[in-house]
């Protein structure tokens, strides 16, 4: 497996049915057993239906995570994962970090990783050049520890956790010079003159910075303690110390606040990030993880060649049924039991397509070929998929292979096939609290023939009452379903499993004529009754395709 593969997603079609979900989980488990060097994860391309929810709950599985797009996302980009800095970090420390990391921007976050802002080298430079702002240290409520670190100094008197809360930064040359300018709380820089040090402390200085490693007398220390004045000693002279002390202010005083920062989630599509980057003109952008916490920082050059997502497709091989952005992904394998569709690949892939009733029947064979034991709960998923797709072996798509595999899986998971099938179908037919949209999309697929696109949905029911209730709910929604999916016509099968009869509802200008010609029936009040028709794949799709093709040829 190439090193560039971060993970392989095993995913079924949009509007997933039980086979689509169970095949993804079962095949991901198998691949992880035979290829432990690569991570395979089952995903879903849409909301699961109630039948599938029942199956997952019955066998103790969580829903697979949703995948909405196969286009590269920020998680597929190699961006800088350098740690964020704390908002109390001094400008000098930030400057040194930028120099050491060869970057011009740092992100700022709290202990939980919540983004607070970012600071660029120009922000530090501007602060350093603003030499006339003598109040910035106090206005920024600068920590004593920042001043000590910036001046490479030593705290002689004071609380190491204290901070400057007000005042100016002044140079105390003599008592006479300070008499008219020193205010309470000021930061005063002095040298070794005792009288200057003593006057500054007695006059109410908040911080006394003694330069040139000058001595501080015990008298001055005692007075400072009494009056709450911190004393910091540094080796720098007053000129250097005066310049450096302004670099001790916290980065939060000069940062661009988080509310003004453009940021991306790891799930942001790269194409969306490109648009934002081009519009703003900024160079650096924070990246947040799926919990919204700081993850790293990205530049426009980082997203030029993102890694492609790697997919294994199960239970479909038509582009219109696949997750969005499939053309930008790398397809590794396709496991399916439907007609050959419209998916194209950049290179050869393992494509296993068999004329059986269920994808999980094929996956069972792959387990056997690789000598991998099927766990009882996985066997339960695979059995559920076969029972669902073959209508408990009643569908014309069901083959002797499906029935044999289903029986073997039932032995492994310990389920009685008839009892379990009834419970599963009943769960799927339950309409309590469900909307027309939910029922419509529980098993709906889009197909095409020539220039015509159409959709076909299907619901399976154990009783006539539940089937009629579903028809009343979904029937009025067909026009909405067609509009949302941009389809000129839709057909929906309401299948009675036990009588093996389907009512087909439809919508579209030519839908009634198509239904009449495809099945040789006369629909009544928008319903075509189709005795013996239970399989969308084998009995409905081929008939619709052939009819549409014939109608197109007649028009030409």
pLDDT digits (tens, 9 = 90+) for 514-539: 999 999 999 999 999 999 999 998 89
Task: Answer whether residue 301 shows pLDDT above 50.
Answer: yes
pLDDT digits (tens, 9 = 90+) for 533-546: 999 988 999 999 99
Task: Answer whether residue 242 shows pLDDT above 50.
Answer: yes
Q: What are the phi and psi torsion angles at 393 (to 5°)?
A: 70, 15
- How far, CA to CA in Å, does 476 sit from each of 222, 479, 480, 501? 88, 7, 8, 21
Whether the pTM exceeds 0.85: the reply is no
Span 315-330, mean pLDDT? 91
Element (H, E) at 42: strand 40-44
Span 267-283, mean pLDDT? 89
* Mean pLDDT for the chain overall: 93
Confidence of residue 346 (pLDDT cuts 50, 70, 90): confident
- Percentage of the chain with pLDDT > 90? 78
Span 407-417, mean pLDDT? 97
Provide CB contacts within 8 A for 11, sequence distance 6+: 24, 42, 43, 44, 45, 67, 311, 312, 313, 314, 323
Confidence of residue 1 (pLDDT cuts 50, 70, 90): very low
Q: What is the pLDDT of residue 4?
A: 62
Span 221-240, mean pLDDT? 95
Q: What is the pLDDT of residue 553?
A: 85
- How far, CA to CA in Å, does 192 sit from each of 142, 210, 227, 234? 25, 7, 20, 12
Span 350-356, mean pLDDT? 95
Confidence of residue 465 (pLDDT cuts 50, 70, 90): confident
Q: What is the pLDDT of residue 244?
A: 93
DSSP string, 154-173: EEEES-TT-B--S--EEE--
Select the more confidently predicted residue: 48 or 442: 48
Q: Looking at the chain, how many residues does it have?
A: 556
Ordered by where they begin, the domains of the chain are 8-72+308-427 (3.90.1640.10), 75-127+253-303 (3.10.580.10), 141-248 (3.40.1390.20), 436-555 (3.10.310.20)
How far separated are the first and last CA of the chain, in Å rounded?
50
pLDDT digits (tens, 9 = 90+) for 107-159: 999 999 999 999 999 999 988 888 788 899 999 999 999 999 999 999 999 99
- Percentage of the chain with pLDDT > 70? 99
Confidence of residue 179 (pLDDT cuts 50, 70, 90): confident
Confidence of residue 2 (pLDDT cuts 50, 70, 90): very low
Span 493-504, mean pLDDT? 92
Task: Answer whether residue 345 shows pLDDT above 90.
Answer: no
DSSP string, 310-370: EEEEES---GGGSPBTGGGSEEEEEEE-S---S---SS--EEEE-SSS-HHHHHHHHHHHH
Interatomic CA distance for residues 390 and 407, integer angstroms: 13
Provide CB contacts within 8 A for 58, sequence distance 6+: 380, 384, 424
57-66, 156-165, 278-287: which has the minimum mean pLDDT? Answer: 278-287
Interatomic CA distance for residues 10 and 329, integer angstroms: 13
Task: Answer whether residue 3 shows pLDDT above 70.
Answer: no
Span 56-64, mean pLDDT? 97
The region, left, alpha or beta by phi > 0 then psi within -120 to 50, assigned to residue 373 is beta
């Amino acid at each position: 497996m190439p090193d560039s593969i971060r993970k392989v997603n095993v995913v079924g079609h949009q509007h997933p049915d039980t086979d689509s979900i169970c095949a993804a989980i079962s095949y991901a488990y198998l691949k992880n057993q035979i290829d432990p060097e690569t991570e395979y994860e089952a995903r879903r391309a849409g909301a699961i239906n109630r039948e599938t929810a029942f199956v997952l709950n019955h066998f103790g599985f969580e829903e697979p995570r949703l995948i909405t797009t196969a286009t590269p996302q920020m998680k597929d980009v190699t961006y800088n994962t350098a740690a964020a800095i704390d908002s109390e970090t001094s400008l000098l420390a930030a400057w040194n970090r930028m120099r050491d990391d060869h970057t011009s921007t740092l992100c700022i976050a709290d202990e939980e990783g919540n983004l607070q802002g970012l600071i660029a080298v120009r922000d530090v430079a501007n602060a350093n050049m603003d030499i006339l702002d003598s109040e910035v240290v106090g206005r920024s409520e600068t920590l004593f520890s920042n001043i000590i670190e910036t001046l490479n100094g030593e705290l002689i008197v004071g609380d190491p956790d204290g901070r400057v809360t007000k005042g100016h930064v002044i140079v105390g040359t003599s008592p006479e010079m300070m008499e008219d300018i020193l205010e309470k709380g000021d930061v005063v820089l002095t040298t070794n003159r005792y009288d200057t040090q003593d006057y500054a402390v007695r006059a109410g200085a908040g911080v006394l910075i003694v330069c040139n490693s000058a001595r501080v007398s015990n008298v001055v220390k005692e007075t400072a303690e009494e009056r709450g004045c911190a004393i910091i000693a540094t080796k720098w002279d007053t000129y250097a110390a005066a310049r450096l002390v302004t670099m001790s202010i916290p980065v939060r005083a000069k940062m661009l606040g988080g509310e003004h920062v453009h940021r991306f989630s790891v799930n942001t599509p790269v194409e969306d990030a490109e648009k934002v980057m081009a519009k703003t003109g900024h160079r650096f952008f924070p990246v947040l993880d799926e919990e919204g916490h700081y993850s790293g920082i990205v530049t426009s050059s980082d997203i030029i060649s993102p890694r492609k997502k790697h997919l294994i497709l199960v239970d479909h091989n038509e582009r219109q049924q696949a997750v969005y952005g499939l053309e930008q992904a790398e397809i590794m394998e396709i496991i399916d039991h439907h007609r050959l569709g419209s998916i194209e690949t950049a290179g050869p892939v393992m494509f296993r397509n068999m004329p059986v009733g269920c994808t999980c029947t094929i996956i069972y064979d792959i387990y056997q070929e690789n000598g991998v034991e099927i766990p009882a709960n996985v066997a339960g998923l695979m059995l559920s998929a076969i029972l669902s797709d073959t209508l408990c072996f009643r569908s014309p798509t069901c083959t002797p292979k499906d029935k044999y595999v289903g029986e073997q899986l039932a032995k492994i998971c310990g389920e009685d096939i008839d009892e379990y099938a009834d419970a599963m179908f009943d769960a799927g037919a339950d309409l309590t609290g469900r909307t027309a949209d939910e029922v419509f999309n529980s098993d709906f697929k889009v197909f095409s023939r020539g220039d015509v696109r159409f959709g076909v949905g299907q619901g399976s029911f154990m009783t006539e009452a539940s089937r009629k209730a579903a028809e009343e709910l979904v029937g009025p929604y067909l026009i909405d379903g067609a509009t949302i999916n941009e389809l000129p016509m839709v057909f929906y099968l309401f299948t009675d499993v036990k009588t093996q009869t389907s009512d087909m509802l439809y919508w579209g200008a030519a839908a009634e004529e198509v239904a009449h010609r495809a099945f040789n029936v006369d629909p009544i009040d928008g319903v075509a009754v189709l005795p013996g028709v239970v399989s969308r794949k084998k009995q409905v799709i081929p008939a619709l395709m052939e009819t549409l093709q014939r109608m197109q040829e007649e028009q030409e």
